[in-house]
């Protein structure tokens, strides 16, 4: 028997389907039999979990959810009473095996006195706010995530009204920052970027879980960095210039084998770069705050006092550090002078990490051989900026590793399942550290 109160939201069609399935429904006012109100809360949760949560989603969703609940109900009939069982299992939709998706959660977590703490109400409302909104919406819809209503737009102003009711968000930090003040129910926001600087503004709230797009840019960053390292070693630009001049150019190319790579930052991106460097037979130095988790780094360095030793004898210095107070202007005159004159600086990370004037001076005076720059403190780079006219600079206009919706959506989907299972989310951002 399923006991419920006489709420008008329980439509006649719902009762009919449950009656046909052999589940007796008794609509009656319910009074809690004890001071703690366990039974009353149990009734409210069963109604919310199994029926009223699907009312806004139309007949098709209602029919599917009722079918799942009926299967679940009969599958659990062998339980003797409510006791201490953890009721969190339900069959997947038809055509989907248990191996295809984690279980949905119906019912309550039960303890020695009936209902323990609170019932599982796993209904969520997601705001997708992105310039690529149609792609993200298609990908999230295709994932068929349970208990999820979605509203989507590319306009923060249009999102403001519906954002108030959303407890989840997915989008670019620069757009989410506009609606964050009105998202009073927000529990979790998934950034489509690796960096989340717009959401770290001290004036914005931080009473929610923020996750970034970690683990998806390593491959793209490796393509970018090693494209330019190989172009330099193989003298591709020089060979092309010789071809344009109709000049035979037998100058031998260099090789990455045996060259020395320095990584400022060895997180998920830095680890991918170190792994690729090992493929080419390079030696790798890693500079981090304290971690030494990547096995492809030959030597680790920590702290500002170790920067000079870290930079000594490098052929290539690649910066993939986050933008924090500690990393601001880390690549300064002192570090650049510690590099040998043959070194090449590559920055696909954060523009604020570099002292631009010191970098331009090192390039003009020959203290540094060349630089490949993708990011800058202020973008787009102004036409009068000194770097446009600095020798031996390649500027790639913040295109090193763009967010691909398919990759970012997979991060969100994985984290949503973790949320539904009550597990810690991946790629969580520490607001204090800034990454």
The arithmetic mean of pLDDT across residues 16-41, rounded, is: 47
Question: Predicted confidence band at 56 (pLDDT cuts at 50, 70, 90)?
Answer: very low
Are both 376 and 239 inside the same structural domain?
yes
42 token code pair? 């149990």
Are both 44 and 159 inside the same structural domain?
no
Query: Is the per-residue pLDDT at 32 higher than 80?
Result: no
The interaxial angle of helices 218-233 and 236-244, nearest 10 deg, is 50
Are both 107 and 128 inside the same structural domain?
no
Q: Would you state the pLDDT for residue 258?
A: 98
The arithmetic mean of pLDDT across residues 226-250, rounded, is: 98
Is 435 within the bounds of a domain?
A: no
Q: Would you state the pLDDT for residue 63?
A: 53
DSSP strand pairing (108-111 vs 114-119) = antiparallel
The arithmetic mean of pLDDT across residues 72-92, rounded, is: 39
DSSP strand pairing (370-373 vs 344-347) = parallel
Active-site annotation, residues: 350, 379, 398
Q: Would you state the pLDDT for residue 41?
A: 40
54 token code pair? 């699907």
3-state helix, strand, coil split of the chain in percent (to 5) is 35, 15, 45
Query: Is the per-residue pLDDT at 265 higher than 90?
Result: yes
Query: Which range of residues forms the domain containing residue 187?
Result: 124-213+405-420
Q: For the segment 121-152, what is each residue's pLDDT rounded down to a tens digit?
A: 448 999 999 999 999 999 999 999 999 999 99
By the 8 A CB rule, do 81 and 110 touch?
Answer: no
The arithmetic mean of pLDDT across residues 266-275, rounded, is: 97
How does DSSP classify residue 193? S
**HSE-CB for 401 with a 13 A CA cutoff:** 27
The arithmetic mean of pLDDT across residues 357-379, rounded, is: 97
**DSSP of 325-391, one letter per residue?**
TTTTT-B-HHHHHHS-TT-EEEE-S-GGGB-HHHHHHHHHTTSSSEEEE---SSSSPPTT-GGGGST
Are both 193 and 245 inside the same structural domain?
no
Query: Is the per-residue pLDDT at 249 higher than 60?
Result: yes
Is 223 within the bounds of a domain?
A: yes
- pLDDT > 90 in the chain, percent: 71
Give which of 95, 93, 89, 56 is closest to 73, Cα–Cα: 89
3-state secondary structure of 189: strand
Q: Would you state the pLDDT for residue 238?
A: 97
Are both 222 and 304 inside the same structural domain?
yes
The span from the CA of 187 to the CA of 207, in Å, is: 8
Is 380 within the bounds of a domain?
A: yes
Q: For the segment 299-334, what is each residue's pLDDT rounded down to a tens digit?
A: 999 999 999 999 999 999 999 999 999 999 999 999
The span from the CA of 338 to the CA of 35, in Å, is: 73
β-pair partners for 264: 287, 319
The arithmetic mean of pLDDT across residues 21-26, rounded, is: 55
Q: Which of 86-100, 137-151, 327-341, 371-385 has the lowest mean pLDDT?
A: 86-100
Q: φ, ψ for residue 396 (rounded to 5)?
A: -115, 10
312 token code pair? 């000594």
Are both 147 and 113 inside the same structural domain?
no
Domain count across the chain: 3
End-to-end CA distance of the chain: 51
The 10 Å CB-count burial string (b at 16+, else e) for 247-272 is eeeeeeeeebeebbbbbbbbbbbbbb
Q: For the segment 196-217, what is each residue's pLDDT rounded down to a tens digit?
A: 999 999 999 999 999 999 999 9
Query: Is the per-residue pLDDT at 1 higher than 70?
Result: no
Q: Would you state the pLDDT for residue 260?
A: 98
Are both 21 and 108 inside the same structural domain?
yes
**DSSP of 73-92, one letter per residue?**
HHHTTTS-SSTT-B----PP
Strand intervals (E) in 214-329: 260-264, 283-288, 299-302, 316-319
Number of other residues whose CB lies within 10 A of the CB of residue 47: 18
Q: Would you state the pLDDT for residue 39?
A: 40
Are both 205 and 72 inside the same structural domain?
no
Q: For the segment 381-403, what is each residue's pLDDT rounded down to a tens digit?
A: 999 999 999 999 999 999 999 99
Query: Is the per-residue pLDDT at 349 higher than 50?
Result: yes
Query: Is the per-residue pLDDT at 103 higher than 60?
Result: no
Cβ contacts of 139 within 8 Å, gap of 6 or more: 405, 406, 409
* CATH number of the CATH domain containing 184: 3.40.50.720
Note the pTM of the prediction, 2 decimals: 0.71
Is 203 within the bounds of a domain?
A: yes
Are both 226 and 165 inside the same structural domain?
no
The arithmetic mean of pLDDT across residues 288-308, rounded, is: 96
Is 410 within the bounds of a domain?
A: yes
Question: Predicted confidence band at 84 (pLDDT cuts at 50, 70, 90)?
Answer: very low
Question: Predicted confidence band at 21 (pLDDT cuts at 50, 70, 90)?
Answer: low
Q: Would you state the pLDDT for residue 24?
A: 53
By the 8 A CB rule, do 180 and 160 touch?
Answer: no
Q: Would you state the pLDDT for residue 67?
A: 56
Q: Which residue has the higher pLDDT, 281 or 74?
A: 281
Give which of 364, 295, 376, 370 is closest to 339, Cα–Cα: 370
Are both 225 and 355 inside the same structural domain?
yes
The 10 Å CB-count burial string (b at 16+, else e) for 277-293 is bbebebbbbbbbeeeee
Is 207 within the bounds of a domain?
A: yes
Cβ contacts of 158 within 8 Å, gap of 6 or more: none
Is 427 within the bounds of a domain?
A: no
Is 430 within the bounds of a domain?
A: no
Are both 276 and 253 inside the same structural domain?
yes
Question: Predicted confidence band at 181 (pLDDT cuts at 50, 70, 90)?
Answer: very high
3-state secondary structure of 308: helix
Are both 199 and 73 inside the same structural domain?
no
3-state secondary structure of 152: strand
Query: Is the per-residue pLDDT at 115 higher than 70?
Result: no
Ramachandran region, residue 2 (left: φ > 0; alpha: ψ -120 to 50; beta: rest): beta
Mean pLDDT of the chain: 81
């Amino acid at each position: 028997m399923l006991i419920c109160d006489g709420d008008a939201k329980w439509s006649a069609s719902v009762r009919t389907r449950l009656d046909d399935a052999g589940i007796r429904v008794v609509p009656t006012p319910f009074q809690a039999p004890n001071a703690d109100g366990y039974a009353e809360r149990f009734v409210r949760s069963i109604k919310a979990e199994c029926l009223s949560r699907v009312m806004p989603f139309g007949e098709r969703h209602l029919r599917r959810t009722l079918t799942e609940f009926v299967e679940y109900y009969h599958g659990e009939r062998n339980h003797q009473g409510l006791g201490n069982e953890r009721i969190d299992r339900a069959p997947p939709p038809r055509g989907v095996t248990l191996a295809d998706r984690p279980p949905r959660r119906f019912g309550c977590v039960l303890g020695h006195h009936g209902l323990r703490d609170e019932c599982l109400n796993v209904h969520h409302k997601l705001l997708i706010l992105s310039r690529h909104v149609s792609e993200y919406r298609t990908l999230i819809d295709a994932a068929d995530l349970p208990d999820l209503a979605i509203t989507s737009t590319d306009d923060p102003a249009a999102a403001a009204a519906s954002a108030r009711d959303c407890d989840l968000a997915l989008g670019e930090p620069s757009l989410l920052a506009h609606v964050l003040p009105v998202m009073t129910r927000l529990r979790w926001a998934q950034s489509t970027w690796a960096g989340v600087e717009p959401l770290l503004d001290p004036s914005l709230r931080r009473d929610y879980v923020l996750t970034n797009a970690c683990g998806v840019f390593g491959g793209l960053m490796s393509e970018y960095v090693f494209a330019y390292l190989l172009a330099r070693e193989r003298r591709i630009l020089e060979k092309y210039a010789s071809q344009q001049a109709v000049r035979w150019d037998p100058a031998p190319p260099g090789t990455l084998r045996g060259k020395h790579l320095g990584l400022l930052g060895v997180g998920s991106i830095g680890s991918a770069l170190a792994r690729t460097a090992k493929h080419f037979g390079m030696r790798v130095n890693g500079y981090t705050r304290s971690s030494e988790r990547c096995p492809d780094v030959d030597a680790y360095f920590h702290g500002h006092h170790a920067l000079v030793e870290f930079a000594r004898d490098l052929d290539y210095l690649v910066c993939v550090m986050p933008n924090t107070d500690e990393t601001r202007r880390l690549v300064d005159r002192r570090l650049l002078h510690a590099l040998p004159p043959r070194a090449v600086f590559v920055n696909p990370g954060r523009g604020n990490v570099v002292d631009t004037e010191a970098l331009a001076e090192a390039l003009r005076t020959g203290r540094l051989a060349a630089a490949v720059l993708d990011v800058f403190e202020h973008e787009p780079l102004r036409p009068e900026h000194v770097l446009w006219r600095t020798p031996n600079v390649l500027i790639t206009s913040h295109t090193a590793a763009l967010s691909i919706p398919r990759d970012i959506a997979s991060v969100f989907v994985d984290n949503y399942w973790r949320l539904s299972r009550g597990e810690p989310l991946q790629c969580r951002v520490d607001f204090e550290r800034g990454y």
